[in-house]
Amino acid sequence: EASAKVIDGKSIAKEIREEIAAEISRMKESIGIVPGLAVILVGERKDSATYVRNKKKACESVCIKSYEVHLAEDSTEREVLEHISSFNNDPSVHGILVQLPLPSHMNEQNVLNAVCTEKDVDGFSPLNIGRLAMRDREPLFVPCTPKGCIELLHRCGITIKGKRAVVIGRSNIVGMPAALLLQREDATVTIVHSRTKNPEEITREADIVISAVGQPNMVRGSWIKPGAVVIDVGINPVEDAKSPRGYRLVGDVCYEEASKIASAITPVPGGVGPMTIAMLLSNTLAAAKRAHKFE
Ligand code: NDP
């Protein structure tokens, strides 16, 4: 029975972190500066707290200085904006990240717009997304999760140019920028979303599938063209009495089935997740290099 190559995001991300650490130590020795990343977390969502903790740990592992602000659930948008403004003006902070989602009484657009473009390491500002979409323009930063997906393809030697790609999901943070990036890499891209008719049939045409939906095991083996490459962004908790936490994480793709049909596939966890954080570190390093004209 055929079996796909497992794309080991965890070890590829480790390799990238090592490259970043080496670059940061070169920077430190030569100009006496290390990159700084500010993270703003509002509220008490457990998943957000975990993401922030992991980002902080990853920063420490490569000698990026992290600055964390944790605000209460009932704090005001104004307080968030004030912190952003002070980080915008702090020369030791090169990247600013606002952990999403924000509490519902805050306007996400106002908050994200407040982060200055040069420090927008999440790449969510309209200016960065606009440049990503336009020919012959270069965004300062590309959103971390889709950038991590493309980096996985590159580092596994998978050609994107000329391929048929299907992105399932069109969110601002994953699906949409993933589709733009694939198109920049000269793939022919189709986007499947919740109103798409015959998603299975369309997905089966793809040489490369990137799924960012948030539905456990939605993409079945029958959706995958034999030999296709499958990048599963989904991180979905499902009940599991056998796990000490009572749940485990699965992707959007039914791994059992798809791994018998695809030529390569990312596992969940251990696929795209670690790459997202590695790309955040990479964007923060790039911001610091740009700020200090360090090459
Ligand atoms: P959103 O909920 O913002 O977007 C989901 C997208 O999937 C929407 O575009 C929606 O379509 C589409 N969709 C929903 N249901 C279906 C369906 N039945 N068929 C086809 N399309 C559907 O999610 P995110 O993009 O933020 O995240 C997606 C997943 O990726 C989640 O599991 C999340 O946890 C994970 N994630 C993982 C990261 C990582 O580092 N690995 C980082 C960020 C997210 P429509 O637009 O029509 O509503």
Break the chain into its structural domains and give their ranges: 32-116, 143-273
pLDDT of the residue at 2: 72
Q: Indicate the pLDDT class of residue 217, thresholds 50, 70 and 90.
A: very high
- Mean pLDDT value across the chain: 97
Active site residue 183: no
pLDDT value at 145 more than 90: yes
Question: How many of the other CB atoms lie within 10 Å of CB of 47?
Answer: 11
| ipTM of this predicted structure | 0.99
Fold of 143-273: Rossmann fold (3.40.50)
Considering only CA atoms, which residue is closest to atom 17 of ligand 1? 194
Torsional class of 293: left (φ above 0), alpha (ψ -120 to 50), beta (otherwise): left
Active site residue 8: no
Residue ranges lining ligand 1, Cβ < 6 Å: 145, 168-171, 173-175, 192-196, 199, 212-215, 218, 233-236, 272-273, 276
Average confidence (pLDDT) over 259-278: 98
218 CA: nearest ligand 1 atom? 18
pLDDT value at 66 more than 70: yes
Q: Indicate the pLDDT class of residue 174, thresholds 50, 70 and 90.
A: very high
Active site residue 122: yes
Fold of 32-116: Rossmann fold (3.40.50)
The proportion of the chain whose per-residue pLDDT surpasses 90, expressed as a percent, equals 99
DSSP 257-281: HHTTT-SEE--SSSSHHHHHHHHHH
Is this model's pTM higher than 0.95 or not?
A: yes
Q: Do domains 32-116 and 143-273 have the same CATH topology?
A: yes
pLDDT of the residue at 225: 98
